[in-house]
């Protein structure tokens, strides 16, 4: 097996690329979901720029991961499973990958169309649309668009939380009950 970072997954071992992308995106998504809930529930508006910046950077990794999966394929199962387990695994994995793509798209729609704009740590990608009548206020660019983006970002966030819990439960089931190598493989062992 090649030691190259971009080497393909093997039937019994995941590549370093697959493992690094999985863990970086997983940790990033969990952190962003937690921060998102905390900042909206407690109206901590000063966290929004950090949330958007990290979300945009993470979306680059997410796009790379989608391309990686398309080129490399899905990992082979580490054992033999019942049809219902295979079905739940596929639904969960597809839901996580599609949700991880859609959540930043809806977030950008919400922020951009609401007039708040977005960028990465001060580097503007979409400028704010300031209200000339009220200092520190913005004017929405497209109200229906930002409301759709807001709803999509919120509901996909909650769906991802449910899928993450299911994914973690499945990984623990594989490790503790089935005693297969699914979790160990993701840890590079």
CA 148 – CA 112 distance, rounded (Å): 12
Between 37-41, 80-84, 141-145, the lowest mean confidence (pLDDT) is in: 80-84
Q: ∠ at Cα 24 (22, 30), nearest 5°?
A: 95
Residue 86, pLDDT score: 92
- Which pair of structure tokens corresponds to residue 41? 């529930």
pLDDT, tens only, 123-158: 999 999 999 999 999 999 999 999 999 999 999 999
Determine the average pLDDT of the residues in 93-112. 98
15 CB-contact burial (10 Å; exposed 0-12 / middle 13-18 / buried 19+): buried
First to last CA, the chain: 14
Residue 24, pLDDT score: 97
Residue with tokens 């597809």: 94
On whether the pTM is more than 0.85, the answer is yes
Determine the average pLDDT of the residues in 158-165. 98
59 three-class SS: helix
Between 48-52, 82-86, 181-185, the lowest mean confidence (pLDDT) is in: 181-185
Residue 60, pLDDT score: 97
């Amino acid at each position: 097996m090649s030691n190259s970072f971009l080497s393909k997954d093997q039937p019994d071992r995941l590549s370093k690329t697959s493992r690094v992308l999985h863990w970086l995106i997983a940790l990033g998504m969990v952190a962003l979901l937690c921060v998102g809930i905390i900042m909206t529930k407690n109206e901590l508006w000063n966290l929004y720029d950090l949330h958007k910046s990290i979300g945009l950077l993470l979306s680059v990794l997410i796009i790379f991961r989608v391309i990686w999966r398309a080129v490399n394929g899905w990992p082979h199962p580490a054992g033999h499973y019942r049809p219902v387990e295979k079905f739940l695994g596929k639904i969960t994995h597809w839901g996580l990958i599609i949700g991880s793509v859609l959540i930043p798209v809806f977030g950008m729609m919400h922020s951009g169309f609401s007039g708040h704009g977005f960028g990465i740590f001060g580097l503007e990608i979409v400028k704010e649309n300031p209200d000339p009548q009220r200092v520190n206020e913005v004017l929405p660019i497209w109200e229906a668009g930002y409301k759709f983006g807001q709803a999509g970002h919120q509901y996909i966030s909650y769906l991802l939380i449910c899928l993450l819990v299911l994914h973690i439960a499945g990984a623990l089931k594989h490790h503790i009950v089935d005693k297969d190598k699914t979790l160990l493989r993701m840890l590079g062992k």
